[in-house]
Structure 1
Amino acid sequence: MSLSAIDRRPITTSATPSSGGVDVLRWTGFGGVVLLTGAAWTGTVALAAGVAGVGLLVLSWALLGRSVLAGRPRPSARWLKRTLVLWCGPLLVAPPLFSLDLYSYLAQGEVAARGLDPNAVGPATGLGATADAVQRVGGYWQDTPSPYGPLFGAVERLIAQVSAGDPVVGVLLHRVVEVLGLALIVWAVPRLAGASGRAALWLGVLNPLVLWHLVAGAHNDSLMLGLMLAGTAVALGALREGVDWWPLAFGVGLIALAAEVKLPALVALAVVGTALARRRGGGFVLVGLGMAGAFLVVSVGVSVLTGLGFGWVRVLGTSGLVASWMAPTNWFGFAIGGIGSLFGADLTTTMIGVGKVVGYVLAAGVIAVVLHRQLRGRVDAVTALGLVLAAVVLLGPVVQPWYLLWAVVPLAVAPVTTLVRARLAAVVAVFAVLVPPLAGNFSGRVGQLVVGYAVGILVVGAAFLLLRRKSIEKPRSRV
């Protein structure tokens, strides 16, 4: 072997898992998930177990990523998919974690099951303020109409009818729906990623935010992402050699259905339309009108067939009514409002409104630039989708940890460098530990949080030292 060939070999460090070590990491992550389920109960011990579980899973996932990004043969794509199933298992039967939105879905479904319009009638009005279903909903959303599209409204109504109001059955059925969405994501990711399928599965599907919010929290973003990515994979596949119109139409239909869950999926139609215009050598405006027409046809069809009508159009901005501290567009309002309060002026609400308008304008500008670059062939379609969704999230009026998945999953699939994937992974890891596993408001439990995080950090630190000693290869010297 020549010296140059030896120099090109990947260097094994003490922080990279060996082929045998990945199995240790798999079961360490599983143990973390089991501990995490304890956070659904009350008490400092339960919270400490949950925090430790979060840390163990994030640690295991990060160390697996070092092996994947280093180009090692293990873990394989099949191994990663099986690990996803293993890590999802305990979360499927746990109470809702990280968020109470799942109880809002149940209440909105009961409103629809009573023949009322969930996009016009809030749970407290439709069910009565003292109803058990309403009491489980977060205070702010108890009388807020549903902001979701008619497809998800129909899902909520069907689950309410099947579960007959039983919250346990309702939670499990919603998890089934979101797991179906996750299955679509798992199907689409390798098809969009091509040769980088393993890295895309690790970063886009196995990541902690998926487990926390699409499985444990059962957010409908899973169904939206699943339909959107599956539709994008089918549509772009139809454009690889010429234009295969029927698969293209099917893919566009899936994306339009995703937008009937949550509207942001609509931007995928712009990306697919741009790819079609580039394939045909022009006609961007005509293609854009065709995509808008397809969305309109699907919207009318779903709204009429579900019997839920078009009330969802009026409440699309409902989620933005909360002044989210994670949204960069709100920081301007918080800053100016804080300064104004020193002089007795209440400027926060007004300035947050200004920030939102600026965010909308900037987002539109970023989307236009990205689509123009895609049309000119400077950005591929999957990267364009990730960048456009990143603009929608970061410049939108509200940011939630699970919203990051809108951009992270497509960017994980995109043909980006290892450094970019590593940076995306760092963002995922930070947001995975940023929000406590307690579902809902944790004010008044600050003491529990402090103790819980202290114990959790000690457990994770000990686990990291143990993994370095027992499941990580020793460094090999270079010749």
Structure 2
Amino acid sequence: MTIRPESTVFLVQTVTVRPTTTDTPELLRWTGFGGALLLTAGAWAVSARAGAVALGVAIAGAGLVVLAWALLGRARPDASWLRRTLAWWCGPLLVAPPLFSQDVFSYLAQGEVARNGFDPNVVSPALGASAEAVARVGVYWRETPSPYGPLFNTIERAITGVTGGNPVAGIGLYRLAAVAGLLLVVWAVPRLAEMAGVRESKALWLGVMNPLVLWHLIGGVHNDALMLGLMLSGTVVALHALPELRWWQYTAGVVLIGLGAQVKLPALVALAVVGTALARRLGGGWVRLVASGFAMLAAFVVVSVVTSLAGQTGFGWVQALGTPSKVNSWMAPTNWPGYLAGAVFGPQTGQVMISSARIAGLVLILGAVVVLVGGQLRGRISEVTSLGLMMSVIVALGPVVQPWYLLWALVPLAACLSEDVWRTRAAVLAGVFALLVPPLAGNFTGRVPELVAAYVVGIALVGGAYLVLRRVSPVSRVSQASRVSVEQA
């Protein structure tokens, strides 16, 4: 094929005059910020029962944030820019009402139970808190004791003591605790990415800026922020100590992970990762692995005892570990066979099937952890990948799945996924779950017509915003100019 000289010049000129994409990230930053503002304003209007239009505005705001985040994955700004943008996007959500969940009201009621001298892991809000506090708790959890560890029980009691049970002040302090956990995550993720050989900006975009973090750690005020922050920062500290065997630093990392498990137990998985890393550093082999495992177990027991005694919470949390599974989660794959059997053979058969499937899921989780520990011990998979995969198995095969549970796996995976195809799949999953549940803190049964109308409004607004972004985005103009130039060549 002969290329005409003038065609070659045209192509060179197209490349040399190609506009920069510096304006695109800024445009997307303010698009996401505007979405966060709309989400917050719409949520306040919904709490005042303003109807489908207000809910549509909130959904549109959520959609704008998801849209801006997805397009930022193509613009690829640097890590410091992403951190500043995260702060902007979180800003409006700090003053939003609780979003997507009523769990923070359970925290407030459990804090009252503890302040009244009861063990919140044994006494439910209905028995130990005021009627006003119980009325705000979701119906599923009013009769249910706290499933959380002694560290979080201590935080609940302290916040109730400071606020005197005032719900507005209490939500504000729980949000500050969530921000503290998120700051630890922001600190830890780039360091985990460096260990795994992944670019810092990629890890921050997928692991920290994704809408699930904004919705559920900040907007929903979930204690998973503290769990993740302590677990990931402890993992970083422990793994950084291994090359030179700085034992005090390694111990500090183990203690941080143990404290994370005193918020929510799944953080305990990180002890398997750092324990296996220690065994490998000392020469490998199953004998060293077993010895390291016993050391990790002993460390967890010590942290648990000290936390329980120091916080004066007692040890009722041990018997409350199965509390979350008392509610059948429709998102958990292990419950799906039971739902199917219940629809065909009746609810009693369905519940038996759910119980059996949960046992099978637990067996599969233990088997997967053993396989992953073996692979890590032999050097076939990295420590960060091992943590991400273990958490993925726990989420997928556990008895309960909530949208924010995906963060247990997604955040460490963001620090180790090097292939773009897997990062894209993880991003699509995060985007779907970010829009799967409407921004209502509570049960939306009976509001289906309102939800349908609200989603229509939200989709229309986000669709219009996307068309505008396509017209004004420098990236879109560049891609269109490039196609024209090639066709003319």
* Correspondence 1:305 to 2:305: no
Letter in 2 for 1:420: W
Deviations 1:26-72 (A, max 9, x none): 0010111111111242211110101101110000000001122xxxx
Give 1:321's match in structure 2, choosing from 306, 326, 336. 326
The whole-number CA distance in structure 1 between the counterparts of 2:250 and 2:434 is 36
* Contact residue 39 and residue 51 of structure 1 kept, 8 A: no
* Correspondence 1:39 to 2:47: no
* Contact residue 212 and residue 434 of structure 2 kept, 8 A: yes
CA RMSD of aligned residues (A): 1.6
Residue pairs, 1:236-255, within 5 angstroms:
236-239=239-242, 241-255=243-257
Give 1:277's match in structure 2, choosing from 270, 276, 279. 279
Alignment partner of 2:199: what SS? helix
The whole-number CA distance in structure 1 between the counterparts of 2:319 and 2:432 is 35
* Contact residue 206 and residue 414 of structure 2 kept, 8 A: yes
Deviations 1:189-220 (A, max 9, x none): 11111151100111100110000000000100
- Identify the residue that residue 229 of structure 1 maps to in structure 2: 232
* Correspondence 1:290 to 2:298: no
Letter in 2 for 1:370: L
**Which 5+ residue runs of structure 1 have no aligned equivalent?**
1-8, 69-74
The whole-number CA distance in structure 2 between the counterparts of 1:64 and 1:427 is 16
Alignment partner of 2:225: what SS? helix
The whole-number CA distance in structure 1 between the counterparts of 2:435 and 2:462 is 12
* Correspondence 1:412 to 2:420: no
Deviation for aligned residue 1:127: 2.0
The whole-number CA distance in structure 1 between the counterparts of 2:348 and 2:262 is 38
Letter in 2 for 1:52: A
The whole-number CA distance in structure 2 between the counterparts of 1:415 and 1:387 is 11
The whole-number CA distance in structure 2 between the counterparts of 1:140 and 1:454 is 30
- Identify the residue that residue 58 of structure 2 maps to in structure 1: 50
Compared with structure 1, are the counterparts of its residues 381 and 30 closer, same or farther at alpha carbon in structure 2 (3 Å cutoff)? Answer: same
Give 2:336's match in structure 1, choosing from 331, 336, 351. 331
- Identify the residue that residue 108 of structure 1 maps to in structure 2: 110
Deviations 1:383-434 (A, max 9, x none): 0000000111110000000000000000001143111111100000000000
- Identify the residue that residue 185 of structure 1 maps to in structure 2: 185
Letter in 2 for 1:334: Y
The whole-number CA distance in structure 1 between the counterparts of 2:404 and 2:188 is 19
Letter in 1 for 2:309: V
Structure 1, 311-320 or 31-40: larger mean CA deviation: 31-40
- Identify the residue that residue 168 of structure 2 maps to in structure 1: 168
* Contact residue 328 and residue 394 of structure 1 kept, 8 A: yes
The whole-number CA distance in structure 2 between the counterparts of 1:80 and 1:448 is 35
Structure 1, 469-478 or 345-354: larger mean CA deviation: 469-478
- Identify the residue that residue 5 of structure 2 maps to in structure 1: none
The whole-number CA distance in structure 1 between the counterparts of 2:106 and 2:152 is 13
Deviation for aligned residue 1:17: 9.6
Give 2:453's match in structure 1, choosing from 447, 451, 454. 451
Deviations 1:205-263 (A, max 9, x none): 01100000000001000000000000001111112x23221110000000000000000
The whole-number CA distance in structure 2 between the counterparts of 1:358 and 1:472 is 52
The whole-number CA distance in structure 2 between the counterparts of 1:56 and 1:127 is 39
Deviation for aligned residue 1:448: 1.0
* Correspondence 1:143 to 2:143: yes
Alignment partner of 1:181: what SS? helix
* Contact residue 332 and residue 352 of structure 1 kept, 8 A: yes
Residue pairs, 1:328-407, within 5 angstroms:
328-341=333-346, 346-407=348-409
* Contact residue 39 and residue 48 of structure 1 kept, 8 A: no
* Contact residue 417 and residue 423 of structure 2 kept, 8 A: no
* Contact residue 259 and residue 303 of structure 2 kept, 8 A: yes
Letter in 1 for 2:441: A
Larger radius of gyration between Structure 1 and Structure 2: 2
Compared with structure 1, are the counterparts of its residues 349 and 90 closer, same or farther at alpha carbon in structure 2 (3 Å cutoff)? Answer: same
The whole-number CA distance in structure 2 between the counterparts of 1:320 and 1:374 is 30
The whole-number CA distance in structure 2 between the counterparts of 1:419 and 1:118 is 45
* Contact residue 196 and residue 415 of structure 1 kept, 8 A: no
Letter in 2 for 1:103: F
TM-score, L = length of structure 2? 0.91
- Identify the residue that residue 100 of structure 2 maps to in structure 1: 98
The whole-number CA distance in structure 2 between the counterparts of 1:339 and 1:302 is 47
Alignment partner of 1:420: what SS? helix
Deviation for aligned residue 1:346: 3.2
TM-score, L = length of structure 1? 0.93
The whole-number CA distance in structure 2 between the counterparts of 1:61 and 1:369 is 35
* Contact residue 109 and residue 133 of structure 2 kept, 8 A: yes
Percent pairwise identity: 58
Letter in 2 for 1:247: Q
- Identify the residue that residue 212 of structure 1 maps to in structure 2: 215
The whole-number CA distance in structure 2 between the counterparts of 1:145 and 1:346 is 25
Alignment partner of 2:348: what SS? coil
The whole-number CA distance in structure 2 between the counterparts of 1:356 and 1:39 is 36
The whole-number CA distance in structure 2 between the counterparts of 1:444 and 1:333 is 25
Deviations 1:52-105 (A, max 9, x none): 01110000000001122xxxxxx1111100111101111111110100000000
The whole-number CA distance in structure 2 between the counterparts of 1:67 and 1:423 is 18
The whole-number CA distance in structure 2 between the counterparts of 1:384 and 1:231 is 15
- Identify the residue that residue 197 of structure 1 maps to in structure 2: 200
The whole-number CA distance in structure 1 between the counterparts of 2:470 and 2:245 is 52
* Contact residue 112 and residue 165 of structure 2 kept, 8 A: yes
The whole-number CA distance in structure 2 between the counterparts of 1:57 and 1:392 is 28
**Which 5+ residue runs of structure 2 have no aligned equivalent?**
1-11
* Contact residue 238 and residue 244 of structure 1 kept, 8 A: yes
Alignment partner of 1:346: what SS? helix
The whole-number CA distance in structure 2 between the counterparts of 1:205 and 1:179 is 12
The whole-number CA distance in structure 2 between the counterparts of 1:281 and 1:102 is 46
Deviating runs (4+, > 4 A) in structure 1? none
Deviations 1:444-465 (A, max 9, x none): 1111101110010011111111
The whole-number CA distance in structure 2 between the counterparts of 1:39 and 1:52 is 11
* Contact residue 149 and residue 263 of structure 2 kept, 8 A: yes
Deviation for aligned residue 1:281: 1.0
* Contact residue 110 and residue 129 of structure 2 kept, 8 A: no
